Structure 1
Amino acid sequence: MTLQFDDGGEHMCNLYNVTTNQEAIRANARTMSDLMGNMEPSLNVHPDYPAPIVRNNDDVRELAAVRWGLPCSQFALMQAAKKRAAKREEKGKAGRVCRAAED
């Protein structure tokens, strides 16, 4: 989603809300096919999470849940993995308890 601002620039939005129901989306977009199942309301739709979209597929407009967002660079993916690993390691250290073996 691209937003136009007063400064004339365009900025990408990386978070949005689904504030309507599935039937309203189908009616507004005139979809012919619904692959969503039961759509849950969502106040925080983040990149890399499933979100409703309307797409053209074989000349049929369909409502589907897809993972969305801008692709991350390999560097960003590696940094995120290292950060998660460090958190898990710290959590593991905090949870360890040393006990003397009983004779």
Structure 2
Amino acid sequence: MKCRITCDQINAVVENLNKAITSKYRIRNQALSSMNAADRNTYYRYLREESDNKEGCVFIVEEDIQLFTPMKTDKRFHKIIVILRHCRRLKEIHVSGITRYVIC
């Protein structure tokens, strides 16, 4: 593996990405009337991010990863992202200063 990263570390990152995606889209699919102010602000941020992207793509940004998981977005995380990109499990899209990780 690249830089002595084990399969267990890659699987842990994939599990954390899945948790962050489910948390994000749980808020995204929730009714506005049932949200508190913090969730409503997060919901509107998701709408702004999604308006720049193609509809129907499941994506996540680093801010969501930091918000919903205890994982740090350090060098090891970015090396694992490179491995997942190589295996074509996700894509990186850079638009207007935001890096989106699109799940394939």
Structures share fold, TM-score greater than 0.5: no
The answer to which structure has the higher helix fraction is 2
Give 1 or 2: higher strand fraction: 1
Larger Rg: 1
TM-score by length of 2: 0.28
Larger RCO: 1 or 2 (CA < 8 Å, sep 6+): 2
